Amino acid sequence: IDLDELCFVRNFRGDSESKYRELDLQMVRAEEARQSGEVPGTLITFQDLSRAADMKFPDKVTWFQDVVRGLRVPWEDGHMAIRVRRSDLLHDAQEAYLAMEADEFRKYFRFEFIGEPAIDAGGVAREFYEIVSSQLFDANNGLFMSSAINQTCMQINPASGLANESHLDFFRFAGRLMGKALFDNHLVNAHLVRPLYKHILAWPMNLHDLEHLDYDTYNGIMKTLDMDDVSILCLDFTCEEERLGSHETVSLVPNGGNVSLTNENMRLYLERQICYRVAERTKEQLCALLQGFYDVIPGSLLSVFDFQELEILMCGLPEIDMADWKAHTVYEGQYEAKGAQHKVVKWFWEVVEEEFNEESRARLLQFVTGTSGVPSQGFGALQGNDGNIRLFTITSWPLAQGTFPRSHTCFNVSHPIPYPHPKPNPHHKPHHKPYPNPDPNP
């Protein structure tokens, strides 16, 4: 089975006036997906979007911000005052954002912490978004949970409804909060899993996206692909969900408990696992989040970015301490004996330090760890999918098995190619610039 052909895109239906029950989301094959070529409220055409998508990232950001300025309501035509209590910030912020009409998010916002006189020239707004996003995406609230492979990235908790009866209001609020932060060029203090960025952009999903959501299921599926006869596993078209201590059997197809997995229906099994894991199990929450996001920014306008760029745009470029990075790197394979003195390793760090800019370093981190974020304690606190410390690791990869870099995001492992050239030119260095849009092999 060619896994590259098993790609699906979410098709979201709903607008700012839709009730939650009226929203819908279906997964369709990538070749059948359609994206709007118009940006409501502008004269932008499909050709304009295509040209912008081909720009370098800094130019693309400038283009995007110029378009956003054209969508903004002038100050003299009305603005919004957001007054919140620091002691109950998340509650007040949610009430304020959900009380607004969608078109009001294009107005200027001025924030005030009640009892703390201050003029909001940007600093209060930055503090508001930093604190609110930290609280909203805190796993203790039960709305979001950590990624299966990176404890610093958050995914939707399938059991959020059990933790909070008003969970869909919170997800719409989350969408509006992130959308408004992006609209006003503020950062959110939370990194999302890759599939969520792809959903926002309506990007194709494949089997490897499951790794970020449910590593055990993903790993089990990958092992079945190496088997000659999958029927000996005695699997069927169901999966087990555990939600706050209760167990539920979910059918992936009608009457899935009576449909045995065979080599003949393996492709259908993979398709259903992809669609269920990346979208259907959190469909209601995902719909509310997308509705909130698009209340602020048209989805078609975001189409000029890829999912890595969207993360950087929303969360900012990380402050990377190269000395800390190198000090907390492990070397394995043929690099283990000489470590940082191995010629390929020297080339690797030379490129990262001297030739990569901040954006390229962030993309390298995304390629190897799954996110551009660095733990607040530094590279020494990088974790794997099991929650244990997994330092950034550089290990060898046989040149005969391919000339492109690979990574294992669940273990923070990079595989630079051991080029044999004694004095390589830039094309022969392990210069994986800029690690564009990878779907790393597991």
Which residues are annotated as catalytic? Answer: 410
Residue 379's contacts (CB-CB under 8 Å, 6 or more residues apart) are: 321, 324, 325, 327, 328, 329, 391, 392
Cα 292 to the center of its chain, rounded Å: 17
What are 280's two structure tokens?
Answer: 């259907």
Dihedrals φ, ψ of 175, to 5°? -65, -45
Distance of CA 234 to CAs 46, 238, 260, 274, Å? 49, 12, 7, 20
Nearest-angstrom CA–CA distance, 305 and 64? 10
Dihedrals φ, ψ of 138, to 5°? -65, 125
What are 319's two structure tokens?
Answer: 């402050």
Within 13 Å of residue 209, how many CA atoms lie on the same side as its CB?
Answer: 29
Nearest-angstrom CA–CA distance, 376 and 132? 18
What are 1's two structure tokens?
Answer: 């089975």
Distance of CA 402 to CAs 205, 223, 227, 418, Å? 24, 22, 24, 11
Whether 330 contacts 343, CB under 8 Å? no
Dihedrals φ, ψ of 154, to 5°? -115, 140
Closest CA to 286 of 381, 401, 171: 171
Nearest-angstrom CA–CA distance, 87 and 137? 17
SS3 294: helix
Nearest-angstrom CA–CA distance, 250 and 275? 13
Q: Measured between alpha carbons, how far apart are the two ends of the chain, in Å?
A: 16
What are 300's two structure tokens?
Answer: 């078609």
Nearest-angstrom CA–CA distance, 314 and 184? 11
Q: How many CB atoms lie within 10 A of CB 389?
A: 13
